[in-house]
Structure formats: C-alpha cells, structure tokens
Amino acid sequence: MATLDECMTALDDFVGKLAAKEAARDLDRSVSCRLTDLDQVVAGRLARGSVHDMTALPDGPAVPKADIRLTMTSDDLLALTSGQLSFAPAWASGRIKLEAGLRDMLRLRSLL
C-alpha cells in the first residue's frame, strides 16, 4: 500500500499533465480521487491549465462531490502514474472508476 504523500505527489503530477494539454486549457472543474485502501479523498481544482488546492480529506459523507471523480487503490494510482497501468484497460476492468458528466467524459476521453 502506498503512502498518502506518495499519492498526493502522483495525483498532482497526473492531474497536472492532464491540465497542461491543449484540450484542457479552458476547463474549470473540481476533481477528486478516492483512495479506497487509505480511506482518503484527495480533492482539488483543474483550472487555467494547472492544478490548484490539492488537499487530502478523510473519506466520508462530508466530502464534497467533485465534477470529475476517480476511485482506485493507492497502488493502482502509483501504477497508473508511473506508466505500469494503462487507464483504458484499468477502467474497463473496474480497477479504476471514473464519474463525470457526459460533456466532461467526452472531453476526458481525448485527454486520457
């Protein structure tokens, strides 16, 4: 199991790479990643081509619902960000869950 600090670094890098892509330049969305094995949710904002205000919160009903929500284990997050795990097969098999509105899903498809 990865540590929360490792996950924060990996998520900052992953979301930062998404934000830097041309298709994401005009996005302004809240994002979160629920780390099921750590019982934490890392939340932040994807805006103006970068990531803002990434913070970890204990998982629970008080966590605000983000526009774009990922759910996975900490090890899968590290494997995804290191290139050992591909997003599409992991999503198709249920290892990674992605929830977003239809418009965001269509835009994310071109980013991932």
Q: Give 10-59 pLDDT, tens digit per residue.
A: 888 887 777 777 777 778 889 999 999 999 999 988 887 778 888 999 99
**Percentage of the chain modeled with pLDDT above 70:** 95
The architecture CATH gives domain 4-107: 2-Layer Sandwich (3.30)
**pLDDT score, position 21:** 77
pLDDT score for 110? 58
Which residues 6+ apart lie within 8 Å of 29 measured at CB?
45, 46, 47, 66, 67, 68, 104
Domain spans in the chain, listed from the N-terminal domain onward: 4-107
What is the pLDDT, as a whole number, of residue 111? 59
Residue 109 pLDDT class (50, 70, 90 cuts):
low
Q: How far apart are alpha carbons 76 and 88 in whole angstroms?
A: 13
107 vs 112: CA distance, rounded Å: 9
Nearest to 72 by CA among 60, 53, 90, 47: 90
- Whether residue 108 is predicted with pLDDT greater than 90 in this model: the reply is no
Contact 87, 112 (CB under 8 A): yes
- pLDDT, residue 50, reads 77
- Beta-strand pair 50-58/28-35: unpaired
d(CA 54, CA 68): 14
Confidence of residue 96 (pLDDT cuts 50, 70, 90): very high
Mean pLDDT on 59-85: 91
Q: Token pair of 76, please? A: 């899968």
d(C-alpha 77, C-alpha 72), whole Å: 7
Radius of gyration of the chain (CA): 13
